[in-house]
Amino acid sequence: MGNIKVTLSVDEKIYEKFKRYCEKRGLIISKQVELFMKRMVGENDGE
């Protein structure tokens, strides 16, 4: 299945902190959000 683009509204301060967190660790923000969503719905990478 392909990817879709979504628009989210988040607290600016939280976003900036999370952006810095990801930058320091070489992470991609959208991938981290996707991983969070998968965990919330109980989906493993193989599903």
Residue 2, domain member (yes or no): no
pLDDT at 47 (0 to 100): 53
* HEC string for the chain: CCCCCCCCCCCHHHHHHHHHHHHHHCCCHHHHHHHHHHHHHCCCCCC
Query: Is position 18 within any domain?
Result: yes
Residue 30 domain-assigned (yes or no) = yes
Q: Residue 23: left if φ>0, alpha if ψ -120 to 50, beta else—which one? A: alpha
Q: Is residue 46 part of a domain?
A: no
Structural domain total, the chain: 1
Q: What are phi and psi of 19, to 5 degrees?
A: -60, -45
**Residue 6 included in any domain:** no
User: Residues with Cβ < 8 Å from 33, sequence gap 6 or more?
Assistant: 8
pLDDT digits (tens, 9 = 90+) for 2-44: 999 999 999 999 999 999 999 999 999 999 999 999 999 997 7
Range(s) of the domain holding residue 35: 13-41
Confidence of residue 46 (pLDDT cuts 50, 70, 90): low
Q: What is the pLDDT of residue 45?
A: 61
* In a domain? residue 19: yes
